Amino acid sequence: PPLSESPPASARAARQPVRHRQCFILMGAVRSRSLLILAQLAASTAAALTTPGRLVLLRHGESAWNAAGRFTGWEDVPLTPRGEEEARTAAELLLTEAGDVRIDTVYTSVLGRALRTAGLCVEALRRNGRPPPPILPTWRLNERHYGMLQGLDKRDTLEKWPDPAALREWRLSFAGRPPPMAADHPFYSRSPERLAALRAANADGEPLRDEDVPLTESIADCVSRVRPFWENELLPALLDGSNCLVVGHANGLRALVACVQQNVDDESLPSLGLPNGLPLIYELEPDGSVRYPSEGRCYVPPLQAYYLGDACLVFNALDQDRSGALSRDELLDVCRASFDSIDGDGDGQVAAEELAAACGDELLRDADTNGDGSSSREHAAAGYGPSQGRLGAPHRTYVPRRLVNFLEYMAWWNRQKRGAAGTASLKSFDQ
């Protein structure tokens, strides 16, 4: 109607329900949209406020082939009695030094030495009133496969292998890969009985195909094998607040470290210190990066995870330059301290100059089990050169630095405690 005229009362009454319905529909739409925005905001806020869980890495206790000094790889060998005790000690460290860490899930490889270590840890937690977490085995956490070297004695192989340069490259570089094992190898990993045992242990995990079982591997291959487990399962669980214990193997855990801590270079990765039965803990930021350092915790470079126990503190006291490894001169301090405790009558039968000349080198030979104690001249003669890193950039292969890393130090020190080497070696200096 014209503006000057008012609509009839009957018309106004007819339009009122329509307007009310339109108003209600509009209000409902606004409310729904507001609730959606609030829900999204609440979800993002909750995610930001969720404290990521801690990641505990634990190398299995000493195995029979660790004790014998043999290349183990994917061969399934049991723990020694000492290895079982190391597993129980590791659980005790978690209870006493990381008591606020409630383990929600345990991941492990499908190899018996890791499964047994995980089981002993969970049993110790249960005995101490902690809820026992589930144990989830996966073949992706298995040890690096050593190819044709699998089963060989390490010391004997280092001394007698016809091509020492190639052997060092296979063992100590990121991309070095030993020759694959043949079907007639005494420990052939794809034999029917070994495949059946692997699948039985992996029954509830990601299916294991024949081609998933390697016949040789480099550290780079291990990283490629472990990365899907990190990205698809472990990292999401940690970011959701779960504390996860991963029980694995030296090189398998090094591969996992390469996924967790992006700033570990290829050269350092093959020799990272992961001693048997010594827990190593990563703390994460909400974006998945590593939180480092934590006050009052002990670190060995280049790792940004802290060790439990006293061994790290002692090693760092010896490692005067904070390089993460002990040089000949730093080992000399170990030797002097050991000799002082042996020479109880103080008669000085071993002259100081004899000790200085021989002690560091003797301990270096005894402790340097990975064979990286060759001289720079030997290194140049071996012809080592650049190769491709894990991100496609050139990196240097094996670079000998005459150093004893934390892993070698712990292995050597454990031998001294068992009376296997140290005292006899020191006494032999008295010519």
Catalytic residue positions, numbered: 60, 143
Torsion of CA 265, 65, 59, 199, to 10 degrees: 100
For the chain, what is the HEC assignment? CCCCCCCCHHHHHHHHHHHHHHHHHHHHHHHHHHHHHHHHHHHHHHHHHCCCCCEEEEECCCEHHHHHCECCCCCCCCECHHHHHHHHHHHHHHHHHCCCCCCCEEEECCCHHHHHHHHHHHHHHHHCCCCCCCEEECHHHCCCCCHHHCCCEHHHHHHHCCCHHHHHHHHHCCCCCCCCCCCCCCCCCCCHHHHHHHHHHCCCCCCCCHHHCCCCCCHHHHHHHHHHHHHHHHHHHHHCCCCEEEEECHHHHHHHHHHHCCCCCCCCHHHCCCCECCCEEECECCCCCECCCCCCCECCCCCCCEECCCHHHHHHHHCCCCCCEECHHHHHHHHHHHHHHHCCCCCCCCCHHHHHHHHHHHHHHHHCCCCCCCCHHHHHHHCCCEEECCCCCEEECCCCCCCEEHHHHHHHHHHHHCCCCHHHHHHCCCC
Instruction: Name the nearest CA neighbour of 372 among 399, 332, 345.
Output: 399
Residue 17 backbone phi and psi in degrees, to 5:
-60, -35
* Residue 86: Cβ within 10 Å count: 24
